[in-house]
Chains A and B, each alone.
Chain A
Amino acid sequence: MIEQTIFYILAAVALAGTLLAITEKHPVHAIMYLVTSLFSMAVIFYLLMAPLVAVFEVILYAGAIMVLFLFVIMMLDLGHPEKGISPHWKEWLPALLLSGISITSLAAIIVSRHATVSVCPAAQPIREVARRLFQEHGMAVELVSLQLLFALVGALYLGKAPSPPTTLPEKEVVKSPGEGVTL
């Protein structure tokens, strides 16, 4: 009963956070709202007996991915709503229309189905999750790690500072090795 109440509160927070995030003009504020939403999602995951996903949601999503967004916004100085182009109200119309249709249809489909039996399975221990991950989906792990490697190489290549013009005196163009962005 308590858990149910907590779930509804969290769902409300997640929805509110997400809505505010996409309507906010200011990117940094939007990211803060989204992080709030992600936190409540993490707790929902925890309630759904997936502590590992919950913790990774915080470590990876809130702790790494969103921080990366923040980093890029801060570094490129994009946090000026007056300079950035925020959508005109007319641009919201097709978005609202299409999302509305989709949401209504989806809700109709879900509700029209008979309610599935709500069993209460035991929580899966982390050991079991890990065993599944590395023994049965080992190939997928390898593929994901390869993809991460490619992303790393790609990001390194894209982020590399363009070679400085040769007219500068030599002392000024010495860049720290292996670092794309000089801070």
Chain B
Amino acid sequence: MTAFSLDITLFAIKLALVFFVILTLAAYLVFAERRILAWVQDRKGPNRVGPFGLLQPLADLIKLLTKEDVIPGAADRWLFYLAPAMAAIPAILIFSVIPFGAPLTIFGRNLPLVVADLNVGLLFFLSLSSIAVYGVAIGGWASNSKYALLGGIRGLAQLISYELSMGLSLVPIVMLSRSFNMADIVAAQATIPFIVYQPLAFIIFMLSITAECKRIPFDLPEAEGELVAGFHTEYSGMRFGLFFVGEYINIIVLGGLAATFFLGGWHGPLLPPTVWFSFKTLAVAFFFIWMRGTLPRLRYDQLMHLGWKVLTPLALVNILITGWWLALK
């Protein structure tokens, strides 16, 4: 086997593995969320299908696949088909720039544990997360229903607002690590994770990504109390499933990003790097679920107020302070 074809094979295996793990994790995150929410509410949660209910995601999948695919008569057909994919695909793509372990050496070949080692990895993440808006907006618009439209508009405004504070909260990270490359950012945290230097940026980032993946307390686009199900009201079956699984992929990916940017990536003592990375990612995901079990939903003006008048100025001040600090050093 030539070196080139070996590289290709290894890459393909890596890709397949990442795909499999991400999708499985997303499915099980749904399950985990249901279980943890149940615990918060003193319930047990789904525990019937398989041991401890572990096969529940499979059952859900089968249910979604076999459901009738309803398309509203007045819907804009092509956009209606397109929207779920546009919600889910960017989320998966973001993962391609996250390094999830220390580089391996297999058959004498160096194998970095990241799908694509872009030198503008951080910006790639920002660009893809800004694309994710389309899923919400188009989904809401194409349904041709007032609830969906309102959800879509809300989602649009919310996502582009919080994009800003998210990007700004990452600027200190770039300043500290002096690189847009994810691997460099992780390498810069070999000894001390950035959360120690940048607690404020971490808080802003966490709030912003919560708003980015439209979760409580920022779930205005799908606020079921007001808008039925928001932008995906009219979706059913596997199209709905795509939206749904997209949201959970998003949680995993953003958890991975929080781990990469602030919690030291795959660095950690004793345990193997990949285990550390998944531990940190799942810890963030757990925190999301915990937050959903705890906080009430914000009002729309509070949401905008928080984004524009609190988080964005705070992030700017944080950048200034970091600049000062770096200049003094």
Contacts and interface: CB of A to CB of B under 8 A. Distances in A.
Chains A and B bind each other: yes
B127 A59 contact: yes
Nearest to A181: B157
Interface string B295-316: 0000111001100110000000
B141 interface: yes
Interface string B112-142: 0000001110011011101101100110110
23 contacts: A28-B79, A29-B79, A32-B79, A35-B134, A52-B120, A55-B123, A55-B124, A55-B126, A58-B130, A59-B127, A59-B130, A62-B130, A67-B130, A67-B160, A70-B134, A70-B141, A74-B140, A126-B119, A126-B180, A176-B300, A178-B304, A179-B301, A183-B150
Question: Closest 6 CB pairs between A and B?
Answer: A63-B130, A176-B301, A58-B127, A55-B123, A59-B127, A51-B120
A28 B140 CA distance: 12
Contacts of B246: none
A71 interface: yes
B2 to A, nearest CB: 18
Q: How large is the interface on B (under 10, 10 to 19, 20 to 34, 35 or more residues)?
A: 35 or more
Interface residues of A, number: 26
A64 interface: yes
Nearest to B180: A126
Interface of B: 76, 78-79, 82, 118-120, 123-124, 126-128, 130-131, 133-134, 137-138, 140-141, 149-150, 152-154, 156-157, 160, 163, 180, 299-301, 304-305, 308-309
Counting chain A CB atoms within 10 Å of each CB, which of B124, B126, B137, B160 scores highest? Answer: B137
A183 B127 CA distance: 26
Contacts of B120: 51-52, 55, 126
Contact of B163 (A32, A56, A63, A179): A63
Nearest to B122: A55
A29 B138 CA distance: 10
A51 B153 CA distance: 31
Contacts of B157: 71, 183
Contact of A55 (B127, B160, B304): B127
Nearest to B150: A183
